[in-house]
Amino acid sequence: MELNDEKILGLREISNNIRESIVEMLLSAGSGHTAGPLGMADVFTILYFHILKHDPKNIEWEERDRVVLSNGHICPVLYATMAHAGYMPVSELNTLRRFGSRLQGHPHREFMPWLETSSGPLGEGLSQAVGMAIALRIDNKKNFTYCFLGDGELNEGQNWEAIMLAGKERLGKLIVFVDRNNIQIDGNTEDIMPLNSLTAKWTAFNWHVQEVDGHNFEMINDAVGKAHTVPEQPSVIICRTIPGKGVLEFEYDYHWHGKAPNKDEAKKALEELHTLGGKIKAEHH
């Protein structure tokens, strides 16, 4: 999964477009989560536009990799990424959270069959992903299963049962991304429930552990590449991210965890992202 400078610039351009879509859809909805989706845009971009085996035109393709979003409240980044990847019209993003829309506040597979799961209550997605990985192994499939978790979500005990089982079963085709942005809805994670060393915790449960800058495409790509070469252990990639990344007013502020921008805030955010997009385009061309 080699990356060159041109490909990285292309990924930067896509992730910036995804961030613009996130702000626009949250403004249209008038509610939703801002910090996490903006913070994870780079990870989702490189997964869907460089790493993942998938086909938007053939959602039942048996060779596709599986993606499970456990922290379902960051679904604006999932919806925006999948729209830009061709799963649905980008224009549909502005129906987020509206009555009758397919784009609910948490992903609902009944409305969008290209999703692998529905998600809502935190702490359940990893158990689903572990089950998928075990089932794929029983069927002698080579597909990878990728699961997204929030760091605050790791307060949920069910995660650790799933982590224990995956380590015991040596699920080498399971790769977890943890959004280590250090915030949750009530404040900073280390104030609410200290997580201390996540690397030490996951390692103790027999996982292959890597920590990366969640905004560095090369580091993320290299980490996934390494995870692919560890057949006897499940892998976790702890992504250090900036909540609200790309909009200075939103960055690092836990109040944006579960708040959508108003008209003025969105206008300022979009101007900032548009300016950055122009700089990326200038570098690209």
DSSP 220-235: HHHHHHHHTT-TTS-E
In the chain, domain spans? 5-284
Beta strands across the sheet bearing 174-180:
66-69, 145-150, 174-180, 235-240, 208-213
> What is the percent of the chain where pLDDT is above 90?
96
Mean pLDDT within 39-43? 98
Q: Please determine, for residue 285, whether its predicted confidence score (pLDDT) is greater than 80.
A: no
Q: Which long-range contacts (CB under 8 A, 24 or more apart) does 46-49 make?
A: 46/11, 46/217, 46/220, 46/221, 47/146, 47/224, 48/81, 48/82, 48/85, 49/10, 49/11, 49/14, 49/85
pLDDT of residue 18: 98
Q: Please determine, for residue 281, whether its predicted confidence score (pLDDT) is greater than 90.
A: no
213 closest CA partner among 89, 48, 40: 40
pLDDT of residue 120: 83
Mean pLDDT within 87-99? 97
Q: Which amino acid is at 202?
A: W
- Distance separating alpha carbons of residues 135 and 131, to the nearest angstrom: 6
Q: Please determine, for residue 48, whether its predicted confidence score (pLDDT) is greater than 90.
A: yes
pLDDT of residue 68: 98
Facing residues of 240 across strands? Answer: 180, 213
- Confidence band (pLDDT; 50, 70, 90) for 283? confident
> What are the tens digits of pLDDT across the range 249-265?
999 999 999 999 999 99
Q: Please determine, for residue 66, whether its predicted confidence score (pLDDT) is greater than 80.
A: yes
215 closest CA partner among 195, 174, 245, 251: 245
If residue 210 lies in a helix (H) or strand (E), which one and from where to where?
Answer: strand 208-213
pLDDT of residue 1: 76
> What are the tens digits of pLDDT across the range 96-142?
999 999 999 999 999 999 999 999 889 999 999 999 999 999 999 99
- Distance separating alpha carbons of residues 248 and 142, to the nearest angstrom: 41
- Distance separating alpha carbons of residues 36 and 180, to the nearest angstrom: 10
> What are the tens digits of pLDDT across the range 184-206?
999 999 999 999 899 999 999 99
Question: CA 72, 108, 171: angle at the middle one, nearest 5?
Answer: 60
Mean pLDDT within 147-170? 98
- Distance separating alpha carbons of residues 105 and 119, to the nearest angstrom: 10
Mean pLDDT of the chain: 97
Residue 50 — φ and ψ, nearest 5°? Answer: -150, -35
- pTM for the structure as a whole: 0.97
Contact 236, 202 (CB under 8 A): yes
Q: Please determine, for residue 237, whether its predicted confidence score (pLDDT) is greater than 80.
A: yes
**Residue 144 three-state SS:** coil
Question: CA 107, 180, 199: angle at the middle one, nearest 5?
Answer: 120
The radius of gyration computed from the CA coordinates of the chain, to the nearest angstrom, equals 18
Facing residues of 237 across strands? Answer: 177, 210
Measured on CA atoms in the order 146, 231, 179, 277, is the torsion positive or negative? negative
Mean pLDDT within 72-93? 98
What's the topology of domain 5-284? Answer: Rossmann fold (3.40.50)
Contact 223, 230 (CB under 8 A): no
